[in-house]
Amino acid sequence: LMMTQKALPHLRQTKGSIVNVSSISSLTTLPNTAPYAVSKAALDHFTRCAALENAPYGVRVNAVNPAVILTPIIKDPAVSMEQHAERLQGSPTICAISNASRAIRTAGI
């Protein structure tokens, strides 16, 4: 929010874009994720509000909502990243792609 506020004068002059990184957790419920999910839902709502408020100035505001991203923070410390990726492959997911993504692939979208 604060970064957006600070950047908006420049973005309005240059007709720039903002891309917020949210999560599929903002759109669905999973056990033990309330604080994370609520913060991402708030980010999605902020994104929609900022998009409407800044469209007249030529500023686009969007969000990406990735599902599972393979990072060290989500894996069991007792297994390697490769083993963790194998566990997630083909498991039931809530996204169209039936496997976990890597950060570099998501960033390339």
Summarize pLDDT for 67-87 with one digit per residue, the tens: 766 666 555 666 666 765 666
Q: Where are the domains of the chain?
A: 1-65, 68-109
Q: What is the per-residue pLDDT for 24?
A: 84
Cα–Cα distance between 15 and 12 in angstroms, integer? 5
Joined tokens for residue 1: 């929010």
Beta-bridge partners for 101: 69
Residue 51's pLDDT band, with cuts at 50, 70 and 90, is very high
32 has pLDDT over 60: yes
Q: Which residues does the annotation mark as catalytic?
A: 36
Q: What is the per-residue pLDDT for 30?
A: 72
7 has pLDDT over 80: yes
